[in-house]
Structure 1
Amino acid sequence: MSTTDYSTALDAARQAASAAADILLHYWRKGVSVEWKSDATPVTVADREAELAIRDILRTALPQADIYGEEFGREGDTQEWLWLVDPLDGTKSFVRRTPFFSTQIALMHKGELVLGVSSAPVYGETMWASTGGGSWFEGERVQVAETAELAKASISFGNIKSLTADGRWNVLGSLVAEANRIRGYGDFCHYHLLARGGLDLVIESDVNILDVAALAVIVREAGGVFTDLEGQALNLDTRSVLAGTAAMHALSLQRLRHVTQGV
């Protein structure tokens, strides 16, 4: 596959997300029992079956790529192409009958995220993007908002509990006080809204790269900026997110850096 033509891989990722959606909706209607992993996070048969279905499709479409999934770990060691798969991001919501869950599939080439698909099956909502190809929502190309002033901005926070333990909490409080609207959509939802112009800034902690890799490509290709809270590009060890319009990302990052640099 050419490093600039991702159409085959993107088609496969969308097909895999659709297959996962069928499985997740089946168990969403039927109900599932819950098991607990060693890290005290829940897992269900829906997670595992969806990931197996995704792996089968991706492996066939791009056999030269490794696959790193939430439930079955890493397969392959080529170090060039790597699929990142979270078959059911939001299992805690899923088992409590809260519809804020999704399937996340991204492709990384030599450490750079190059495409992503985010599927929220209960909402019938899918977004996708690839490098240079734009960001798409159900066949319509989307863009982030042009918001450049904090007083006009809408901000959404995720995993606020862990953010309260961070030395930057007072800075986040100042952003809340000055912004136009504050929400806490969480999971896929606030990133979808950001890419479609419905939000201007997302601040989140305690994430895993599998949760946000696809969403990073979607926001970036919609004209947004997507880094961690330190302003660093995403990698396999990423644990936080600062994503927004260019202006809102720059403003918030400057304030956060003043704290971490002791200014």
Structure 2
Amino acid sequence: MAGYSDDLALAHLLADTADKISMGRFRALDLRVESKPDLTPVSDADTAVEQAIRATLARARPRDGVLGEEFGHTQAAAGPGSRRWVIDPIDGTKNFVRGVPIWGTLIALLEGDTPVAGLVSAPALGRRWWGALGHGAYAGKHQHQATRIRVSGIRHLSDASFCFASLNEWANTGRLDAIIDLSLSAWRSRAFGDFYGYMLLAEGALDIMVEPELSLWDVAALIPIITEAGGKITDLSGRPPGDKTPAIATNGPLHETILNALAAPKR
């Protein structure tokens, strides 16, 4: 199958570069951390990873645009095109700067507004996940040591593992009570933030992952992986998640249950 094979191969090369940089700075005593205007942290590893990815894309895909968390949007060097790479150099920076190994680089390719390929690399966990439309979803140490992944077949909330993030932000939406009710109704509930809950969902290790707001660079790489693994990811209205929207990801059979539970805020 051709399709997006070349793009996935490039994404792996980009991730190789990102992993070397980020692992070289993980738990470094001289790591530099600053606060962005929104008061979220950014480290010298975040900026170095994004700069390296951008440099490679400028050479390998000059007709593609780039959007990154740290340096914004860059138009294609070779003229306007419908393809755009979306990069989160380190998703989970708060974990990264505290020495927690749950963080990763997120790389997505969009055609128009549709994410068609995505890769998540978590080098401190020794694991990657990737997928592209029509190619399936995979996980492993690298592309030559991988297993195809699939979401679970759980159909009832009482049998499901429910994962959530950002209780404070859910409270701001007026849906904290609903999150608590879902947690109490599920077989098991845990809070794996950032990319990790979504990838566990794609592997079938849990069944539901919900988050109150994600930027495009947080969610774009996740979408092809989850959908190619047989899952579903939308906003609260059931539309594809976009920039600054909630993300509701499930194995599919549980999706309407979760959307209905979170439909109306309680003030």
> Which interval holds the TM-score relative to the shorter structure?
over 0.9
The TM-score with structure 2 as length reference comes to 0.91
User: Following the alignment from structure 1 to structure 2, what is the Cα–Cα distance between the partners of residues 27 and 67?
Assistant: 24
Please tell me the root mean square deviation across aligned C-alpha atoms, in Å.
Answer: 1.6
User: Following the alignment from structure 1 to structure 2, what is the Cα–Cα distance between the partners of residues 6 and 98?
Assistant: 33
Alignment of 1:50-61 (within 5 A): 50-61=49-60
Alignment of 1:132-147 (within 5 A): 132-138=134-140, 139-147=146-154
User: Following the alignment from structure 1 to structure 2, what is the Cα–Cα distance between the partners of residues 90 and 149?
Assistant: 31
Which sections of structure 1, spanning at least 5 residues, go unmatched?
none
2:143 match? none
1:199 match? 206
Which sections of structure 2, spanning at least 5 residues, go unmatched?
141-145
Count of residue pairs brought into register by the alignment:
256
Post-superposition shift, 1:208? 1.3
User: Following the alignment from structure 2 to structure 1, what is the Cα–Cα distance between the partners of residues 113 and 81?
Assistant: 9
The TM-score with structure 1 as length reference comes to 0.92
Partner SS for 1:104: strand
Matched, 1:171 2:170: no
1:24 match? 22
User: Following the alignment from structure 2 to structure 1, what is the Cα–Cα distance between the partners of residues 100 and 128?
Assistant: 18
Aligned residues of 1:86 and 1:103 also touching (Cα < 8 A) = yes
Matched, 1:10 2:8: yes
2:47 match? 48
User: Following the alignment from structure 1 to structure 2, what is the Cα–Cα distance between the partners of residues 251 and 58?
Assistant: 41
Aligned residues of 2:32 and 2:43 also touching (Cα < 8 A) = yes
Aligned residues of 1:68 and 1:75 also touching (Cα < 8 A) = yes
Partner SS for 2:214: coil
Partner SS for 2:254: helix
User: Following the alignment from structure 1 to structure 2, what is the Cα–Cα distance between the partners of residues 135 and 87?
Assistant: 21
Post-superposition shift, 1:260? 5.8
Instruction: For residues 124-149 of structure 1, give each alpha carbon's deviation from its aligned partner in whole angstroms, at most 9, with x where no partner exists.
Output: 11010000110000211000000001
Percent of pairs with identical residues: 37
1:97 match? 99
2:161 match? 154
2:240 match? 233
Post-superposition shift, 1:90? 1.2
User: Following the alignment from structure 2 to structure 1, what is the Cα–Cα distance between the partners of residues 214 and 102?
Assistant: 15
2:259 match? 253
Aligned residues of 2:66 and 2:75 also touching (Cα < 8 A) = yes
2:230 match? 223
In the TM superposition, structure 1's runs of 4+ consecutive aligned residues that sit over 3 Å from their partners are: none
Alignment of 1:33-112 (within 5 A): 33-76=32-75, 78=80, 80-112=82-114
Instruction: For residues 175-223 of structure 1, give each alpha carbon's deviation from its aligned partner in whole angstroms, at most 9, with x where no partner exists.
Output: 1221100000111211111000000000112321111211121111100
From 186, 190, 199, the counterpart of 2:193: 186
Instruction: For residues 98-124 of structure 1, give each alpha carbon's deviation from its aligned partner in whole angstroms, at most 9, with x where no partner exists.
Output: 112110000110111100000001011
